[in-house]
Amino acid sequence: MSVTINENYLLLQDSYLFVEIAKRVAKFEEEYPEKEIIRMGIGDVTKPLVPAVIKAFKAAVDEMGDPETFKGYGPEQGYSFLAEAIVENDYKPLGVEIAIDEVFISDGAKCDSGNIQEIFDLNNIVAVTDPVYPVYVDTNVMAGRTQGVNDDGTYKGLVYLPATGENNFIPELPKTPVDLIYLCFPNNPTGTTLTKDELAKFVDYAKENDAIIIFDAAYESFITEKDVPHSIFEIEGAKEVAIEVKSYSKTAGFTGTRCAYTVVPKDLNVKDSKGELVEVNSLWNRRQTTKFNGVSYPVQKAAEAIYSDEGKKQIKENIDYYMENARIIKESLENIGLNVYGGVNSPYIWVKTPNNMKSWDFFDLLLNEANIVGTPGAGFGLSGEGYLRLTAFNTLENTKKAMKRIADLSF
């Protein structure tokens, strides 16, 4: 015997999207060094951490340098000061009761949404929306929950739920039985949301079919409309069928600081092969305590400061700034007759390409004619073809400049 690799990794498609974008932008820059490019493809925040966060962060670093207050390993699940702040501020105001030990603090929603599949059987059927945040798909491929790749790049065995202009970006319920359903609302990449009633249909489906929903609410803080759920647990009965993943990355500019959390309700039970119910919460606890040693103390203190009066006010100013950009993008593009989705409860604007252009053709047109970089929708899945994603994570000045450039084009 010699060592062999996990061949599931060989099924993964190259993450062609951002490599290809970088290649085309580099080529353009080489040919036209004098042109000023505006990057509207970025899925990363641009504003720095707010003062309240920095103050708490620095104070906690000082504590780490003092023998009286130094901290070694903390609880793998996170410090209770942060879990309590989460329960009090993110759930109580919604009328949702979450217990401290249902909250698992981590270093990212990417890791949590990628790792969570580990505690479920390999025979479970996975459903994802299309277009999709690639992490949900690739981590299930790595685990071996697919049986190969189709010619169109989709994976055999995965169930895709299209979300397009035709269904108003409300994915249909799975037509064939599924066990794990990944939902992300407000959505990346489309920027669209579900109402409470629409989300309730998925919760009801999960209850009727013994399925579980993994709900990624990374963009929750960008919601501006009333009927859009901030948490899946606002839906009656969701605690019996859902896990929720949240992150401070987009909410408070923590993309480089790293802090997030996952809520696994105690009411969530799944059958083992003998038909006996197992608490998912205790499995996730076991997984985290074995493979994870917690988020650093200063980062958790920094995250706690988001919930102070000052912190709340300051992060809201940043979110409002991005959302003003989103409003400008949406209105400017609508004014020139484009069909535009998202941008109301999310920093993402999903643009239908004019004249049924392919995503990459529209990408090239914007790059060459307006020197603007977007993200081709086709890179997020088959149903993303014919769309392009723009983001509000830019300066107001650049956003306005970019919209003027696009308005000057004729399609």
The site for ligand PLP (CB under 6 A) is made up of: 43, 108-110, 133, 184, 188, 216, 218, 247, 249-250, 255, 260
* Helix, strand, coil fractions of the chain, as percent rounded to 5: 45, 15, 40
DSSP assignment of 260-282:
EEEE--TT-EEE-TTS-EEEHHH
Closest CA to 278 of 290, 291, 261, 266: 266
**CA distance readout (Å), 307 to 51, 87, 89, 298:** 13, 11, 7, 15
Nearer to ligand PLP, 218 or 373 (CB): 218
Side chain identity at residue 21, one-letter code? I
- Nearest distance from C-beta of residue 68 to ligand PLP, angstroms: 32
Nearer to ligand PLP, 262 or 332 (CB): 262
Residues 6 or more apart from 32 whose CB is under 8 A from it? 371
Cα gap 221→230, rounded to integer Å: 8
286 by DSSP, 3-state: which?
helix
Q: Which two tokens stand for residue 102?
A: 């249902």
- Nearest distance from C-beta of residue 4 to ligand PLP, angstroms: 31
- Nearest distance from C-beta of residue 55 to ligand PLP, angstroms: 22
Nearer to ligand PLP, 111 or 365 (CB): 111
Nearer to ligand PLP, 49 or 370 (CB): 49
Q: Which two tokens stand for residue 246?
A: 């949240």
Nearer to ligand PLP, 284 or 332 (CB): 284
Cα gap 216→120, rounded to integer Å: 18
- Nearest distance from C-beta of residue 218 to ligand PLP, angstroms: 4
Q: Which residues of 347-361 are buried (b: 16+ CB within 10 A; e: fewer)?
A: bbbbbbbbeebebbe
- Nearest distance from C-beta of residue 216 to ligand PLP, angstroms: 5
Nearer to ligand PLP, 133 or 233 (CB): 133
32 by DSSP, 3-state: which?
coil
104 by DSSP, 3-state: which?
strand
Cα gap 53→95, rounded to integer Å: 27
327 by DSSP, 3-state: which?
helix
- Nearest distance from C-beta of residue 53 to ligand PLP, angstroms: 15
> How many angstroms separate the most distant Cα atoms in the chain?
68
Nearer to ligand PLP, 200 or 260 (CB): 260
Contact 206, 239 (CB under 8 A): no
Nearer to ligand PLP, 113 or 325 (CB): 113
- Nearest distance from C-beta of residue 62 to ligand PLP, angstroms: 26
For ligand PLP, the nearest residue by Cβ is 108
Q: Which two tokens stand for residue 261?
A: 């959390």
Residues 6 or more apart from 120 whose CB is under 8 A from it? 179, 180, 212, 270
Cα gap 244→113, rounded to integer Å: 9
Nearer to ligand PLP, 184 or 199 (CB): 184
Nearer to ligand PLP, 179 or 220 (CB): 220
- Nearest distance from C-beta of residue 185 to ligand PLP, angstroms: 10
- Nearest distance from C-beta of residue 254 to ligand PLP, angstroms: 7
- Nearest distance from C-beta of residue 370 to ligand PLP, angstroms: 25
